Amino acid sequence: MKILKNVSIFTGGENPKFFNNGILVWDEEKIVYAGEDSKEYKGEFIDGKGKLLMPGLIVAHDHLYSALARGIPLKNYHPENFLDILKNLWWKLDLALDRESIYYSALVGIIDAIRKGTTTIIDHHASFGYISGSLDELERVSIETGIRLSTCFEVSDRWGETKAKESIKENIRFIEKLRKEKNSLISPTFGMHAQFTISEKTMKECAEAGKDLDVGFHIHVAEDIADREDSIEKYRLGVVERLLKENILGKKTLAIHAIHIDEKEKDIIKETETMVIHNPESNMNNAVGVSDVIGMMNRGILLGLGTDGFTQNMWRETQVATILHKLNKKDPNVGFSESYRMLFVNNPKIAERIFNRKIGVIEEGAVPDFIMLSYIPPTPLNENNFFGHFLFGLSPDFVEDVVINGKFVMKDREILTVDAERIERESEKVTKNLWERFTST
């Protein structure tokens, strides 16, 4: 047993608690006790040095393959719409990725995420120049860094039927492989890009494979108006309606964005218990629109928060989510409690559906995934006002220690599992080659 003392603890979750003189006890992969330091425990003692302990953050939708795009040269890049952004940046980049750059991209993204207090990532992978075996590279990085990771390959017909078939096979192969390995840190979903790049035939093949494997899907839904227009033109259905018809929705399915959907489609999401992930920074950057987060949450839809690979910074994403909806609704009352719910209540519930474990709350029976911050609160701090500190005072700058599945992955700001400095130096060389392939296509 590990016994961490001399910490204050914010538990997160639906009814958060705050312990001023807290103690956290865990045994292997489970928290045994979290509360005020009043009982005696036997085991290995760790001194929390007066730090603030809170749940590790969860990124509910990410693209680790985009991590090496930082500073990428974009010549004659003047996108007029979302499709231009995809065609001239992301689809070109994912086609240029090879085995080495997939590995380094995941490493760089995950190191960045860990430094920012993230302990779980739900990733959506694409690399149409290197499909078979690509997900093994992500698994390798998860094992090496110690992060909790879900990943999948985005099935798409955008490069033709052969590559679509190979991407379906990659999902199936990886799901079956993970089930044999039984590594509790890694869990799959079945990836699909978006309905507008998936033919009827491919859609049916995905639905069948997903049903056989009893796995949820991870798909972009109506991110841009073009996705909705495509679905209505080809199938006379909204995006959510088409996915319902094709048996893609359900309790384990992640519908990403859900911006251009109508009221009837929101009801379908609720009825099918499909999960929705909001990515405000990416949506703003792509100028695609604002999703009706408030309306969907009022319906009781399980709605979480991701970064869409835009950054690995869930602190900033949460801050933006808070203020975006105030501005969008012109109502200063909205945004605050919804953002807390997305990050500290719903993201944990979403992770629980994917990993079949209690994740993202500091309580008995949950996995010991937590972070510790060096923070002397200059104003009173308690369970009722923690989120005010989170939004207006705290940031990744305060994150000193990261513990995932009971093991220290970062201690006193040093990553223990991998040599981050060496990786970042090597990554620069790998990225130069990747960018050369990118610019030559």
Residues near Zn ion (CB under 5 A)? 308
Helix (H, G, I), strand (E, B) or coil at 309: coil
Distances (CA, A) of 132 to 68, 98, 189, 197, 412: 21, 11, 16, 20, 38
**Cβ nearer to Zn ion, comparing 170 with 369:** 170
Q: How far is the CB of 308 from Zn ion (least distance, A)?
A: 4
**Cβ nearer to Zn ion, comparing 308 with 401:** 308
The Cα–Cα gap between 432 and 436 comes to 6
Per DSSP (E only), the strands in 98-216 are: 118-123, 148-151, 186-188, 190-194
Q: How far is the CB of 194 from Zn ion (least distance, A)?
A: 9
**Cβ nearer to Zn ion, comparing 241 with 308:** 308
Residue 413 tokens read as: 């700001």
Helix (H) or strand (E) holding 423, with range, is helix 420-440
The Cα–Cα gap between 275 and 302 comes to 5
Helix (H) or strand (E) holding 101, with range, is helix 99-115
DSSP state of 344: I
Q: Of 204, 250, 198, whose CA–CA distance to 227 is shortest?
A: 198
Q: How far is the CB of 279 from Zn ion (least distance, A)?
A: 7
Q: How far is the CB of 124 from Zn ion (least distance, A)?
A: 5
Q: How far is the CB of 172 from Zn ion (least distance, A)?
A: 21
**Cβ nearer to Zn ion, comparing 246 with 308:** 308
Q: How far is the CB of 343 from Zn ion (least distance, A)?
A: 18
Residue nearest to Zn ion according to CB distances in the complex = 308
**Cβ nearer to Zn ion, comparing 354 with 410:** 354
**Cβ nearer to Zn ion, comparing 281 with 292:** 281
Helices 200-213 and 161-181: crossing angle, nearest 10°? Answer: 10
